Amino acid sequence: MKKIATPNPTGPDSQLQSSEPSDSTNQGQTPLSKPVEVKQETSHTPIPDLKSLLEANPALAQPVSVFIALLGLATIIKTLAEGFLFAKNWELIDGIPLGGWGVVLVIAGCILLLSIAMIWINRLMRNRPMIKDLPPHLLSHKPTIHWDFSPPDTNLYTFKVAVKKKGLGYKKTDFTDFAAPGTDFYNLYREKKLQGNLTISVTAMLNNKRFSTSSAVETEIYEDAVHRIKATNRIRVAVHTDPGDDVFCSYYKNEWHGFDIYLVNEAAEQLKRSLGLTKPLQVEFIHYPWPEVIAAPNEHMVDFAIASISISKEREEKYGVLFSEPYYTASLGVISREARAGLSDAGDNGEVSLDDLRGKKIAVHQQTTASILLDKITKTDDTFSIQIHTARDNSQISEWLKDGKVDIVMYDYERAFSMLADGYKNQKLEPRTEVRMDEYGLAFAPNNSRLRAHMDQIISTNRQQFGQDLKKRTDRKSAAA
């Protein structure tokens, strides 16, 4: 059973894989002084000492001060009312005189309600801890939460961390613990059970009483992708699809289709056995635009990404990912409008010869295998006369080809079928040795080396099978074009 995520495919300007332009700890803590315990003095009289009461409960200082001030104001109003004989004629209800002290009681009641409201407002306006830099998905062997808290004197406060694990009934919390005195972080990895879908909050404590609590933050925490896959029996994969692409990845009739989907489903079945699981893995595909899909694994929402991503050291450094072993080696293709380009099938297996490109206006994407090949040939062969037009994206290339600004487009043969329109043709270019052809790989977050090792083994075992499946798909597209 496979859970399907509804995609959000990009428009015609989406950049396809190999035609895309080249994509050029623990913190040390200084221990602070231990929290100062303020002892509350008691009075032998029935009425407690107001000064001691406010010292023990500083949050009451503001509302009590306002209450005393308003009570004094009410007394003044009462005196004025009696002095000018206003209060004698006041009536609360028809026929019921209010009287001077009645005025005071009404005012005192209003003051009481106002004071209660101010207490709640003061509580809401208190400084609260704010959990920071905790993503919704975190794969880490040492997860740590940090928070900000800025009252006048932080040395008076301690912090309690509360964690609730989802799906365990209606318990208020499953775990509570105090952070080390004087710190603003807590190492969740100290408790191995604190993994899965969690709700975390931090409470500031003053004199062992709750002062304020942060907003609850929901997150998902596992050691790495393998740990999450075992715990959830689910694998999440980032994919990308372009309009018209039904070779690699497409979505219609509420289902995913294409070579990328086939590869992942085949790998999931073998990964289940490799991890020693008994139930089939559920596969969830999540659509990302290009080129965000390359870096998607670093958000830890997905376990890896597949989108016919060309393996390169530059991409590993730019996007901070690790690539798997290549699962397919691409070929170069030539897209043309048949009535205009006049290309022959001179090479073996119906491939276009490089000589057929002489005198042509050719569109490429910058820093791709196609652009590098043409650049090398024109520099080493003075007789090879062509015009090279470098496009910013697929939309511009399609427009140039339609309007006749270029005769042909040089592009990954396997990816080029998504660009075909009526009257267009996609042909393989004869193999060349001047450049290394693009190799497609899976992208992983750096801390998911365990999963990458499993997938490398699966790719190594099934590379020939994957290549044969993709060839069948492109052959069918070529025959139908």
- CATH number for position 351: 3.40.190.10
| Structure confidence at residue 99 (pLDDT) | 55
pLDDT for res 195: 83
Asked if residue 247 and residue 188 are part of one domain, the reply reads no
Q: Residue 50 domain-assigned?
A: no
3-class secondary structure, 211: strand
**Can you give the pLDDT at residue 340?**
55
Contact 369, 431 (CB under 8 A): no
Question: Phi then psi for 100, rounded to 5 degrees?
Answer: -65, -45
Distance of CA 164 to the CA centre of its chain: 22
Query: Residue 315 has what DSSP assignment?
Result: H
pLDDT tens figures, 409-460: 999 999 888 887 777 888 899 888 888 899 999 999 999 999 999 999 999 9
Q: Are residues 72 and 156 in the same domain?
A: no
Low-confidence ranges of the chain (pLDDT < 70): 1-108, 110-111, 114-115, 117-126, 152-154, 167-173, 190-193, 244, 338-350, 481
| Structural domain includes residue 2 | no
pLDDT at residue number 190: 61
Same domain for 456 and 382: no
pLDDT number for residue 47: 46
Residue 4 per-residue DSSP state: B
Same domain? For 376 and 425 the reply is yes
Determine the pLDDT at residue 293: 96
Q: Is residue 16 part of a domain?
A: no
pTM as predicted:
0.72
The whole-number pLDDT of residue 211 equals: 86
Amino acid letter, residue 394 = N
Q: 444-470 burial, b if ≥16 CB within 10 A, otherwise e?
A: bbebbeebbebbbebbeebeeebeeeb
Range of the structural domain that residue 115 is part of: 57-124
pLDDT for 167 equals 62
My answer on whether 395 and 353 are in the same domain is yes
Nearest to 290 by CA among 268, 269, 305: 305
